Structure 1
Amino acid sequence: MKQSEIKELSVAELQDKLSETKKSYSDLKMAHAISPLDNPIQLRSVRRDVARLATELTKRELQ
């Protein structure tokens, strides 16, 4: 998910997307622990998406 896409979301949508992305990340981590993923770079990209969403939420709360 790109930063420009994240900026267009409302606060409620950001919170929903953040919880979905965190769940997706934990599922990927579990799957990777059991057997290696075909594309382990997925973990990095999902983790960075979580960080982008959390950063945007924090930035909006501080404004």
Structure 2
Amino acid sequence: MKQSEIKQASTAELQEQLAESTKAYTDLKMAHAISPLENPIQLRTQRRSIARIATELTKREVQ
């Protein structure tokens, strides 16, 4: 998810997306532990996406 998309989304949508992304990341990690992923860069991409969403949610809580 791009930063511009994250800024436009509502807080509820971001919380839902964070839960989905976290579950997807966990599933990818488990799959990678069992047998190597075809594209291990997916792990990094998913992790960074989670961080972007979490950062935006924290920013909104502070304001």
Runs of 4+ in 1 over 4 A off after TM superposition: none
Alpha carbon RMSD of aligned pairs, Å?
0.3
Task: Among all aligned residue pairs of Structure 1 and Structure 2, give the percentage whose two residues are the same amino acid.
Answer: 73
* Unaligned runs of at least 5 residues, structure 2: none
Which one-letter code corresponds to 1:33 in the other structure? A
TM (norm. structure 1) is: 0.99
The one-letter code sitting in structure 1 at the alignment partner of 2:60 is: R
Aligned to 1:40: 40
State the alpha-carbon separation in 1 of the partners of residues 46 and 13 from structure 2. 17
One-letter amino acid of the structure 1 residue matched with residue 39 of structure 2? N
Instruction: Read off the aligned partner of 2:26 and give its amino acid letter.
Output: S
Query: Structure 1 residue 4 and structure 2 residue 8: aligned?
Result: no
Give 1:17's aligned residue: 17
1:39 alignment partner, SS class: coil
Q: Distance in 1 between matches of 2:2 and 2:14?
A: 13
CA distance in 1, matches of 2:38, 2:5: 27
